[in-house]
Structure 1
Amino acid sequence: MADAPVSPSLTNSGPEDAPLYAPRKQIYPQAVKGRFRTIKWVVLAVTLGIYYLLPFLRWDRGPHAPDQAILVDLAQGRFYFFFIEIWPQEVYYFTGLLVLAALVLFLMNAVAGRVWCGYLCPQTVWTDLFYAVERWIEGDRRDRMRKDKEKLTLRTAAQKGLKHFIWLMIAWWTGGAWVLYFADAPTLVRELATFQAPMTAYVWIGILTFTTYTLAGFMREQVCTYMCPWPRIQAALTDEYALNVTYRYDRGEPRGSMKKNEAMRLQGLPAGDCIDCYQCVNVCPTGVDIRKGLQLDCIQCGLCIDACNTVMEKINRPLGLIAYDTEMNVKARIEGRPETRHIVRPRTIFYAAIIALVGATMIGSLAMRRTVYLSVMHDRNPLYVHLSDGSIRNGFTIRVANKNLHERSYALTIDGLSGAKLDIVGGEIDQQGQVVVKVGPDQTLEARVLVSSQGSDVPPSTDIHFTLTDLATGDTARMSDYFKAP
């Protein structure tokens, strides 16, 4: 009886055959057509379309507010995302977004391995775009390999020059689009074109142009292999149920040419479907041979699946020699056991539940957040002052933030100290005797507040509470501090 196929990952040469620092080999990925290549083209078009065009999308927030849909306003300390406005003291929303992003990444890894790396990672997206330009100008894999080996001609030099020019234009617009998120996009474009934009904008465009051109044009797979920490992290997070791009060696081994394998089948001998055509290697953007098992370099883009399926169609063999699968299923087929797919399992349920919890918490917080903010700080020196009438006075600095897009009037009151008198520098007293402060639209106001007791018979430290009430809507903000006495 013939021996069962053995996993390629278990048959690799020993460490003495693999140098620790292998020299880099130029990779020439071959063009391929198929379902996964189409998915990557769609993702590329959608993500780059969003990135380049989103700064020009308008959103009417009314007067006294910018109309750019997504804007990071560093000068005013605001982040605008359509109808949401985030203030500096609400930085915890960004923390929540980072937590959500990490959890989504963990969930994607638990379901389908490095699906982020293969389809959504900016390095992958821009590298795919640069490869498309390279193929359009210089030709496919064989043409590029031939031109690099031959002596440089005027035609080849012109092609390479055009390629690098287009690469630089893509990189330049990538850097330019990034700075548009930090200022009004149409205005900044006009200022950049007339050389009236701030020097900071030109510096950042230059930095991002250089990094995009270098990483997507030259470093490419080295970023994924050496610079990015995610391959190491996801290797520690994955489990045996996660789907990965897998060479089904139970079908593919033993390998051989198409004629040889057909002859062995006619003789009743074991023959695999893999014909050693190396198409899976030729189309890989990182030069990985998926038949050697899961590797750190593999970004799980699925292009090898498309290439292998194309070959299987030509030789009239079943598709899926390379597919999203698990090592457990390969071993199960070898042993005659049924395959299992556990996408819904404790790990994925846990990640999904945490994502739902964090997302619901953030949505609830945004829905219930107040449009007025109050902070109070007690004077440190002196803590209190004796007045001529025998009373004691404490000084405070208050900061009122009006998150509305219209001017608001607020009534400031205190409680906790019987008979206390409240004065505010720059405030008004309304007909009801309330201290009223007015704050402009989307602005903050800092004011000096004086609280005086009726007499000197006051405990050494008394908790007092400041309440700020919006006279138009009734929204309130409350802050506690202390009143100091001898």
Structure 2
Amino acid sequence: MTTSRTSPMPVEIDAEDDAPLYEARRQIYPQSVHGRFRRIKWAVLMVTLAIYYLLPFVRWGRGPDAPSQAVLIDFSARRFYFFFLEIWPQEFYYVAGLLILASLILFLMNAVAGRVWCGYLCPQTVWTDLFLAVERLIEGDRRERMRADAGPWTLEKVTHKTLKHAIWLIIAWWTGGAWVLYFADAPTLVVELATLQAPTVAYASIAILTFTTYVLAGHMREQVCTYMCPWPRIQAALTDEYALNVTYRYDRGEPRNSMKKAAVLREAHQPAGDCIDCNQCVAVCPTGVDIRNGSQLACIQCGLCIDACNTVMDKIERPRDLIAYDSEANFKARTEGKPPVRHIVRARTVLYVVLILVAGGLMLTSVARRSLQDLAAIHDRNPLFVRLSDGAIRNAYTLRIANKKLEERTFMVSVAGVSGAALDIVGADGMAASVGPDQTRELRVLVTTRAPLPQGASLPITFTIRDAATGVEATAADHFIGP
């Protein structure tokens, strides 16, 4: 028995099927630009870097027994100092409140002007701008850098590259060094670091942050914004048609032509756009985006393309803002011949403002009413109660008193809630307990009653501490357990 085998039909393979799934990374050489948005970015860069590098050295008087650093995260004392505010571990809700407030502000910024955070305030943007400024200072602008990278390695090229990377490493090193200064007294830690007497964790932290800053701001740059950062994906779901975004007004810019050809077409009363296809908007973009292709994930809305385009429009004597902060609703209104649409105040932005005011108001109210003493009670678990020889029932507790003032205080301790209850502080005479400045103290207390208790009783009990000097009180609730 023979079997006939047929040949498979030939299949044509499109050349595009062999194309890679991901675009190979291309080196981006952002060109320097001058204009309003570039000046804003320089101002933001200088202010934010000054705050980051200098804030650890700002002093704030808190008394002789407290740190004098204005902003300090003191892990050893389990405190977070922020100017007049001192946050204890049990008050971490203040930090949570600040994070919620920051998120709402970020949402509001997105609703008003898209990724304005990414373009001006994001640390990745700020440090990348700084690194780019160093690169331009040493290697020249876009054309000089491209020419040098395409050419052979010469002594001048090696010198420029070495100097650039050395300065980058110095900036990255000081960035890591400034970070660790927030966790210890800054002047003291600087001396310890210089004399090699600082803790090992300080050197390790500086090394890690030096490496990450150097790599992210010096080498990865736009890759962080395009691939690593989750915010571009999130903000796209939070925006709407009224949000201002950097937009190429193609209703005015198209069809593109050279300047001479556009002039000829206008004289012939034929359509001619203002865009002369000079590609300056692409050359200045730090992420290499062509904004004329519409909104894109990599666009950080920095506005540099606006400055570049306005410079060109001035030279060819055409109206400015061919590229501008604009909204989809405004574009639609222009194409339909309707008046411009500017809805900054709308339901979304009003809601965010209200939420910000509510969250901020709650935090300010909480800070204003913040207690400078705290009391916690913990019942002994084993045994839950003890029957004495005379028939009395005794429960044992641990009281933790927190004194948040920067002075020693004496508290009077009392108990209520159980009939005939007597309170005894182990190791102390009387009902008074002294607590040092900005410290906590644990007390072992015994509560005894000879009054008859119901079978299986679990009665609510309240402990109270009262400042002997001011009369301010704090309470803690627990239960008195019987047989």
Determine if the TM-score, normalized by the shorter chain, exceeds 0.5: yes
C-alpha distance in structure 1 between counterparts of 2:469 and 2:116, whole Å: 51
**CA distance in structure 2 between the aligned counterparts of 1:292 and 1:18, rounded to whole angstroms:** 22
What residue is the counterpart of 2:442 in the other structure? 446
Q: In structure 2, give the amino acid aligned to 1:340.
A: V
1:465 aligns with 2:466: no
Partner AA of 2:466 in structure 1: T
Alignment map for 1:246-265 (pairs within 5 Å): 246-265=247-266
Written as runs of structure 1 = structure 2, the 5 A alignment for 1:59-458 is 59-429=60-430, 435-457=431-453
Give the drift of 1:454. 2.5
| Alpha-carbon contact 2:114-2:244 (below 8 Å) kept | yes
Q: Secondary structure at the match of 1:148?
A: helix
Cα separation, partners in 2 of 1:241 and 1:223, compared to 1, 3 Å: same
Q: Is the 8 A contact 1:105 1:116 kept in 2?
A: yes
Retained in 2: the 8 A contact 1:138–1:159? yes
CA drift of 1:453 comes to 0.2
* Number of residue pairs matched by the alignment: 467
Give the letter aligned to residue 481 of structure 1: D
CA contact (8 A) 1:384 1:484 kept: yes
CA distance in structure 2 between the partners assigned to 1:175 and 1:155 by the alignment: 30
Output the CA distance in 1 between the equivalents of 2:125 and 2:17: 32
Q: Assess if the C-alpha contact under 8 Å between 1:31 and 1:141 holds in 2.
A: yes
What TM-score does the superposition give when structure 2 sets the normalisation length?
Answer: 0.95
Inter-partner Cα distance in structure 2 for 1:248 and 1:17: 36
Identity %: 68
> Residues 73 and 79 of structure 1 are in contact (CA less than 8 Å); yes or no, is this contact kept in structure 2?
yes
Distance 1:439-1:426 versus aligned 2 partners, 3 A rule: farther
Q: Secondary structure at the match of 1:419?
A: coil
The 3-state SS of whatever aligns with 2:207 is helix
Aligned-partner residue type, residue 97 of structure 1: L
String of CA shifts for 1:310-344, please: whole Å, max 9, x gaps. Answer: 00000000000000001222222122111111000
Unmatched 5+ stretches in structure 1: 1-14, 430-434
Inter-partner Cα distance in structure 1 for 2:469 and 2:74:
28
Distance 1:112-1:133 versus aligned 2 partners, 3 A rule: same
For the residue of structure 1 that corresponds to 2:80, the secondary structure is: strand
**Superposition TM-score, scaled by structure 1 size:** 0.95
Q: CA deviation at 1:17?
A: 12
Helix, strand or coil for the counterpart of 2:413?
strand
Q: Please give the secondary structure, in 2, of the residue aligned with 1:62.
A: coil
Residue 8 (structure 1) aligns with: none
Secondary structure of residue in 1 paired with 2:375: strand
Tell me how far apart the structure 2 counterparts of residues 181 and 20 of structure 1 sit (CA, whole Å): 44
Quick check: 387-396 or 230-239, which moved more?
387-396
**Corresponding residue for residue 9 of structure 1:** none
User: Per the alignment, in what secondary structure is the counterpart of residue 428 of structure 1?
Assistant: coil
Distance, in Å, in 2 between the alignment partners of 1:238 and 1:59 is 41
Name the amino acid aligned to 1:104: I
Counterparts of 2:188 and 2:129, CA distance in 1: 31
Gaps of 5+ in 2: 1-15
Does the aligned pair in 2 maintain the 1:376–1:397 contact within 8 Å?
Answer: yes
Question: How much is the aligned-residue C-alpha RMSD, in angstroms?
Answer: 1.3
**CA 1:16–1:48 in structure 2 vs 1: closer, same or farther (change >3 Å)?**
farther
CA apart distance, 1:427 = 3.0
Distance 1:418 1:408, change over 3 A: same
Asked whether the equivalents of residues 397 and 446 of structure 1 are also in contact (C-alpha less than 8 Å), the reply is yes
The amino acid of 1:278's aligned partner reads N
Quick one: distance in 1 between partners of 2:453 and 2:303? 80
Distance 1:18 1:360, change over 3 A: farther
